[in-house]
Amino acid sequence: MSDAALRMLLWFLGQCIALGSRFMPSLRAQITQTLVFELSAGERVARHWVFDGPQRRAVTRPGSAANADCAVHFDSSSQAMGALVSSRTVDKVVAGLHDGTAQLRGSAFVLLWFYGLTRKFVKLGRSSGPRYRLPDAYLAHDPSTCGSETIIVEPAVVRLDPSWTDAWRARSTLLQVRAATDEPVLEP
């Protein structure tokens, strides 16, 4: 049962990526290299994707690839299915690699890239971005906010203090400041 379900899931992902490579600019923008990616499980389930960098297209085929640039093999179809539909896919694949129930041949970066492609069609897991509303901009001093005791508020200075020799030396190197005040500007 799990072999058939995994075959169907891989076929679905394959068709989505193949069609997306024709019609989705965001997916086409990610296909920049020519490579072959293979995902297999057990003895009977395998599918590979051929990505064409110059044309930015993807093609999927059943079975193992003759020379895959990156190949992931799970010991069982149920493990592969569980990893692919999990919201914590990367954790499950890494755990499988660690305990020996999954094998990776090729670059782990290609595996993460392929994982990102699959998530364009099947949105599992937490969406990117913060879980809470970002605070408003800090525009004025507010003594009631947490941490304001460490913020030193000094009055604005119109002109640098003549005793600040390091500040005057640093100011003399700024071309924009010197040009705005009609000071002589050295050639760059």
Identify the pLDDT of residue 2. 82
Domain range 2-118, CATH architecture: 2-Layer Sandwich (3.30)
- Nearest CA-CA partner of 115 in 30, 4, 44: 30
22-31, 55-64, 158-167, range with the lowest pLDDT: 158-167
User: pTM of the entire structure?
Assistant: 0.65
Q: How confident is residue 185, by pLDDT bands cut at 50, 70 and 90? A: low
Instruction: For the beta carbon of residue 59, count every other beta carbon within 10 angstroms.
Output: 14
Task: Tell me the per-residue pLDDT of 120-155, one tens digit each, with 9 for 90 and over.
Answer: 887 766 666 667 776 666 666 666 766 655 667 777
Listed by start position, the domains of the chain span: 2-118
Task: Tell me the per-residue pLDDT of 68-89, one tens digit each, with 9 for 90 and over.
Answer: 999 999 999 999 998 888 888 8
